[in-house]
Structure formats: C-alpha cells, structure tokens
Amino acid sequence: MTPAPLAARLRIPSGPLFFPVTAYGPDGSVDLDVFRTHVRAGIEAGAAAVFACCGTGEFHALTPEEYEACVAAAVEVSAGRVPVVAGAGYGTALAVRYAKLAEGAGADGLLAMPPYLVVAGQDGLLRHYAELAAATSLDVIVYQRDNAVFTPGAVVELARTEGVIGFKDGLGDMDLMQRIVSAVRCEVPEDFLYFNGLPTAELTGLGYRGIGVTLYSSAVFCFAPDIALAFHRAFNAGDPKSAAGDATVNRLIDGFYRPFVELRGEGRGYAVSLVKAGVRLAGLDVGGVRTPLHDPTDDHVKRLAELTERGRELLRTGADA
C-alpha cells in the first residue's frame, strides 16, 4: 500500500486514472505476465493511479482467485509508486469477500460497483455500502450507475460514512450531480472526492468541470496514453484564466473523442471490448473479452486504428501550431 492517504493521492492527480484491461492467454485463462506488462506500461507512461479489476478490467468475468491474483500483480508492479484501487461488487456478502481479498493483496482502496441485479431503495443501498466500508481498512469510492442511483440526501449520508471518501458518477445526469455536489458541500465539512465515471469521460469533462468535478477515469489511456496524457494536461491547464488548454481539449474532442464515442456506440459492450482491441492494436496481446461480451468486428477495429492515428496527427499538428 502507498504511504499517503488515498484521498490525498487522488485529489490532484499527476496524470490520468488508469483502468487496465485484464489480459487473457490463448486458452482463455488470465495471463498475469501480460497484465503486469500492461500495468507497468501505464504507470511508466504517467498514470496517477491504477484501478484494477473494475469495469474495463472485466470484474464481472473474473473468479475470486483470478481477481485476487490480478490485484496482487498490480500492487507488485506499482511497488508504491501510485495507489492501486480494486473493484468490488455483487451483493453485500460477495462485495465484502472481494474487499477482503483486495485488502489482503495490498490494494489501497476500493471502487464499489453497483449491487448485482436488484434495484434497491436508498436505505438498502446505504446499508450495503456502509457494511462494505466497515469490512476492511480500505477507503471506498462509491460508483453511481445503472441500478445504484442516489438522491442528494443519500450521498450526504455516504459522505458521512466512515471509510467512504468519494463518489464516481457513471449516470450522466448533470442536474442530479449538481444537486449532489451542493448538498454535500453544505452538509459535510470534510473534503469529498467526485469522479466523472462515464465511458470515455473526456467527452463530458468540460461539463463536469463546470460543477466542480475534475477527476475522471480514462479508458483511452489503456491504448493511446499519449492522446490521453495530452488531453489531461490541457484539461487541467484549461480554466477560466487560460483559454489555451481548452483549445487543445476541444480539438481532441472534435477530432478524436467524439468520433471514438460514436464508434463505441455501434456495438454492445464496446466500452470494454473496443478498448481491449485498442490495446492489441498498440502491440500488446491481451486477448479478447470473455462472454457475455464479444470482440469488435474487423471493420470496427480498422476504424479504431484509423481514428487513433488521426488523434496522434492532431497532437502533431497542435504541437506545430
């Protein structure tokens, strides 16, 4: 585990938050050597944190044993250079089991994903995350999406829950997020972290920044770290006092991120499988995705390669400008 508190390490990240894919060998089993290579490359490219075995890492498809091995491998590669946050999900009992496996493997924190299948009320959700946070010493970031959607009052209670340090939004309801940020700001004196957790979060980054949410997950960093780093630097330089950063952000949104999101929308599950195809295009054979996901079509992979090259051309022409 890294020595500084997780919240302090994440509050002002030095680079993108890296959500590595999980590597599989030709026989379909987890390939820990390739996974280590992937994680190491991301850290050396400038990742500020590693979120292992989360959505992009196919948490849903991993056995507890595979999960524990992958988290341990990420911790080993990181060697304390950046924090490692592990996914945890399903019902309360299984989420607690995964949390304990992550703690034993040396993780610094947990990304608590929605409970499996059921649509629970606010009281039940709060009990679920409180029990998860109490089960280990690890700090917890709660992930809002799908069947885990919170009222502003419920997020105030989450922010008051010992061990819960942040809230990641994968829903995209800006009105709700503004009310959540406002309610917590008024009711909870301690700092609370917020993350834009939409797929390809860069596309909505400017909107989230407007309500004070500047942290975001970057799936693009998995396969095009140069593009993701350039965006991250420009995004953090771009504020009301600096138009230069936002000019770069908009150029990358218009020429790369928006077309990428449109391509991603052409296939179910492409938020994972298209990213994994991008990693393979970059030269690392991380295998395909496990069912029930499916790999992209050859045409979609070709278009992804062309789009990634277009993004790099934008970096080159921007540097020359």
* Chain segment 160-171, per-residue pLDDT in tens: 999 999 999 999
44 burial (CB, 10 Å; 0-12 / 13-18 / 19+) is exposed
pLDDT digits (tens, 9 = 90+) for 86-132: 999 999 999 999 999 999 999 999 999 999 889 999 999 999 999 99
Q: What's the rounded Cα separation, in Å, for the pair 66 and 22?
A: 10
119 within 8 A of 146, measured Cβ to Cβ:
no
Judge whether 279 and 34 are in contact, CB under 8 Å: no
pLDDT in tens, 189-206: 888 999 999 999 999 999
pLDDT in tens, 63-78: 999 999 999 999 999 9
How far is residue 302's CA from residue 14's CA, in Å, rounded to a whole number? Answer: 32
The contacts of residue 301 (CB under 8 Å, 6+ apart) are 277, 281
pLDDT band at residue 239, thresholds of 50, 70 and 90? very low
Domain locations in the chain? Answer: 6-240
pTM of the model: 0.94
pLDDT value, residue 106: 98
Answer yes or no: is pLDDT of 1 > 60.
no
The dihedrals phi and psi of 4, each to the nearest 5 degrees, come to -80, 155
Question: DSSP E strands: which ranges in the chain?
Answer: 17-18, 49-52, 84-88, 109-112, 139-144, 164-169, 193-196, 215-218
**What pLDDT was estimated at residue 243?**
58
Orientation angle between helical segments 122-135 and 92-104, nearest 10 degrees: 30
Question: Catalytic residues, which ones?
Answer: 143, 168
Tens of pLDDT, residue by residue over 287-321, are 999 999 999 999 999 999 999 999 999 999 875 44
Is there a contact between 216 and 197 (Cβ–Cβ < 8 Å)? yes
C-alpha 109/C-alpha 239 separation (Å) is: 30
- Whether the pLDDT of residue 238 is over 60: the answer is no
Q: Strand 164-169 relative to strand 139-144: parallel, antiparallel, unpaired?
A: parallel
6-240 to CATH, choices 1.10.1740.10, 3.40.250.10, 1.20.120.450, 3.20.20.70: 3.20.20.70
d(CA 192, CA 185) in angstroms, rounded, equals: 8
Q: What pLDDT is attached to residue 59?
A: 97
Average pLDDT in the chain: 94
Map residue 217 onto helix, strand or coil.
strand
Which spans in 142-295 are helix H? Answer: 152-160, 174-187, 205-210, 225-237, 243-252, 258-264, 270-281
Q: Which residue has the tokens 């590693």?
A: 50
Q: How large a percentage of the chain has pLDDT more than 90?
A: 90
